[in-house]
């Protein structure tokens, strides 16, 4: 089943490769893979083989949202303005990223799980760690995590808050500093952040994203931001780079912990 979706969206990706979190998710998972122990890569390599790389596999969870609609709510946790403490958030009946993340971790840890289920679980986990480090995945329910927060660029082109943070900041960054330098910065930040302590709880990662989303500079709260200037995007390059680097480290630690415990 995964292979069928993979081949279809490989074709689709060649037609429309503009979606960002493709770039962000790929970087998170590729850099996380480099940090895995050889014991863990031996275990997960068969699961990612048909995708060609872990980075490519981590895009799968977005590809299937059209057919597997029940998974759409698994990518975020939204809270109203009066509830800023993410640890107290309760997933709605249709689910959220917290329940989905822990459910897929459980599948990965179950030695009796089928190959296909483990394959899906690995791709979900990799994708969810990337998602929760994107600030708009911990946004408001009333505007669908910023999707209904309409914006314009300085040239008059339309966008929205979620789309800008999901990829247009990265697209602009790569135009300004280049794709190679972008990857180098991520690697430099990973090297720096490896020396600090990291929470293993997705709720804590989500709180970081929520706090960023609510910060004055982002302009999300109260629909403060109306025009997304180049200066706005450039002033947030560092945040985007930090979130990708932190996601890569935490994903690697999550997978190393799962397989160290389980095997």
pLDDT at 261: 60
| Residue 262: band (very low, low, confident or very high) from pLDDT cuts 50, 70, 90 | low
Strands 227-228 and 150-153, bridge-based pairing = parallel
Buried b (16+ CB within 10 A) or exposed e, 234-250: eebbebbbbbbbbbbbb
pLDDT at 260: 79
**Cβ count near 103 (within 10 Å):** 14
Domains of the chain listed by start with CATH number = 2-9+19-262 (1.10.575.10)
Which residue's entry shows tokens 């706090």? 211
When mean pLDDT is compared across 18-27, 43-52, 59-68, the lowest value belongs to 18-27
Mean pLDDT of the chain: 91
pTM for the structure as a whole = 0.92
pLDDT in tens, 186-215: 999 999 999 999 999 999 999 999 999 999
Q: What is d(CA 212, CA 222) in angstroms, rounded to the nearest whole number?
A: 14
As given in the structure block, the two tokens for residue 11 are 């074709």
pLDDT in tens, 140-165: 999 999 999 999 999 999 999 999 99
């Amino acid at each position: 089943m995964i292979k069928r979706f993979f081949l279809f969206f490989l074709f689709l990706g060649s037609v429309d490769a503009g979606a960002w979190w493709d770039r962000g998710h790929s970087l998170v998972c590729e850099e996380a893979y480099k940090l895995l122990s050889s014991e863990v890569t031996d275990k997960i390599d068969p699961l990612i083989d048909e995708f060609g790389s872990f980075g490519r596999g981590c895009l799968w969870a977005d590809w299937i949202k059209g057919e597997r609609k029940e998974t759409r709510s698994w990518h975020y946790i939204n809270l109203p303005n009066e509830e800023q403490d993410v640890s107290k958030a309760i997933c709605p009946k249709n689910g959220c990223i917290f329940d989905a993340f822990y459910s897929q971790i459980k599948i990965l840890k179950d030695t009796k799980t089928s190959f296909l289920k483990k394959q899906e679980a690995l791709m979900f986990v990799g994708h969810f760690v990337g998602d929760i480090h994107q600030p708009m995945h911990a946004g408001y329910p009333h505007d669908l995590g910023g999707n209904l927060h309409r914006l314009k660029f300085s040239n008059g082109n339309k966008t929205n808050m979620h789309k800008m943070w999901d990829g247009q900041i990265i697209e602009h960054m790569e135009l300004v500093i280049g794709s190679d330098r972008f990857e180098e910065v991520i690697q430099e930040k990973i090297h720096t952040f490896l020396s600090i302590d990291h929470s293993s709880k997705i709720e804590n990662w989500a709180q970081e994203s929520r706090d960023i989303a609510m910060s004055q500079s982002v302009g999300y709260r109260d629909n403060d931001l109306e025009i997304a200037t180049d200066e706005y995007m450039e002033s947030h390059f560092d945040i985007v780079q930090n979130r990708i680097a932190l996601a890569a480290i935490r994903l690697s630690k999550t997978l190393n912990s799962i397989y160290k415990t389980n095997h």
